[in-house]
Amino acid sequence: MTRARYALVTVDTEAQPARAAGEHVRRLIWGEHPGGTAGIRELCAAAREVAARLVFFVDACGVYQHGAPYEEAVRWLVQAGHDVQLHTHSEFLPDSFWHEHGFPVRPRLLNQYDEARAAFTLRFFSEHLARVKGGPITAFRAGSFRWNAGTLRAQAELGLPLSFNNSMRAWVDGVCPHAETLGRPFAWSNGVIEVPITERRFPSWGPAPWWGRLAFPSSQHHRDPPWRVLWPYTLGRDVPVLVLLLHSWSLLYWDENGHAEYRDKYRLEDFRKLMRRLAKDYDIITTQDFLALQASGKIPITHTVGVARARAGTLPGSEI
C-alpha cells in the first residue's frame, strides 16, 4: 500500500580516526567488539525484518585510505541489496594525497575549498566509490554537512542529481553557507535536487535558534522508543518526506576516551522498533526510489533556489 509519505533511513558510514584506538573498519563499520557486535550487519537485519533498504552514505575518502577492509564492507552492503551513496570526510586525508594531486593541504574542510578543489574532490571520490561498489553514484552528503556552491556545481557537472545536505542546524553552526527552512525537497538552479534532513526548531535558551535533527539515537543517556525519536518531528506536522540520520556506529556507545564500544543489545532493539513503526506509517525508500517518485510527480519539488545563494551565505531573517 502506497501512503504518499516516504522515509529515507540514511546511515553515514565512517571509520573516523578519533572514534577508535585501532582496527577502525572492524570497530566502527562492522561494529565488532569484545563484548558483542552492533554494526552494519545488525542495522541491515533490522531493515530486512520490514522488507526495507537503507541508504548508506559511505565515506569514500575512508574507503580510499583503508583499502580492502573497507571495500569489503561496501561490497557486502551492495550484495545485501542496500543503497550505497557518496559521503566525504576529506579533512582526514593525509597531506601526501593533496601534494600528489597538486592541491594545497589547507584549508582542510570541504566547505572552505575553492570550486576547482571541490570539483576534483567529488569527481575523484565518486569515481572511486563507483568502482568499488560496481555501480553509479546518484546522491551526495558532505561530511558534517560541510558543503558550498562549489560542491553543488560539481554535482551538476558530474551528473549526481541528489544532494542530502540542507540542514538549518549546520547553517546555525556555521559549517555551510545556506539552508532553507521549509524542510521539503527543492531544486537548485543548476538542476540538483536537495533532500533536506528532517529538522525542527525548538525553544532555545540563548540568542541562537536551536534546530533539532531527526537522528538515532536521539541521546546517549536514555532509551529510544519510536515515539521519543519521531514525535518531536512529526507530531502536528505534515512531513511527506522524512530523512532520518544514523551512523554505522549508532548501535554502540562511547567510552571515556571517546572510542566506540559495545555495551548491550538495547540500542539494536530500539532501532528494530523504530523500523517497525516507520514501516507502518511510511514507505521506506532508497535514493533510486526517490528519483522515480519525483519524476512521476508523487514527490513534488516545492521551489527553486539559486546556486549563488550558497556562495553568498544569505538567509531571509524572517524565516529564522
pLDDT recorded at residue 132: 98
pLDDT single digits (tens) 272-296: 999 999 999 999 999 999 999 999 9
Beta partners for residue 162, in sequence order: 139, 193
pLDDT recorded at residue 317: 34
pLDDT single digits (tens) 128-161: 999 999 999 999 999 999 999 999 999 999 999 9
What mean pLDDT is predicted for residues 100-114? 96
Residue 228 dihedral angles phi and psi, to the nearest 5°: -70, -35
pLDDT recorded at residue 2: 52
pLDDT recorded at residue 316: 38
pLDDT recorded at residue 312: 55
- Treating both helix axes as pointing N-terminal to C-terminal, what angle do 266-281 and 40-48 enclose, rounded to 10 degrees? 40
Q: How confident is the model at residue 320 (pLDDT cuts 50, 70, 90)?
A: very low
pLDDT recorded at residue 194: 98
pLDDT single digits (tens) 182-236: 999 999 999 999 999 999 999 988 888 899 999 999 887 778 888 889 999 998 8
CB 8 within 8 A of CB 53: no
3-state helix, strand, coil in the chain (%, to 5): 40, 20, 40
Whether the per-residue pLDDT at 3 is higher than 70: the answer is no
The dihedral sign for the CA sequence 78, 83, 227, 276: negative
pLDDT recorded at residue 208: 80
Q: What is the share, in percent, of the chain residues with pLDDT greater than 70?
A: 96
pLDDT recorded at residue 314: 45
Say how far apart CA 129 and CA 145 lie, in whole Å: 19
- Mean pLDDT for the chain overall: 94
Helix (H, G, I), strand (E, B) or coil at 15: coil
What mean pLDDT is predicted for residues 15-19? 96
Whether the per-residue pLDDT at 237 is higher than 90: the answer is no
CATH architecture of residue range(s) 7-314 = Alpha-Beta Barrel (3.20)
pLDDT single digits (tens) 41-76: 999 999 999 999 999 999 999 999 999 999 999 999
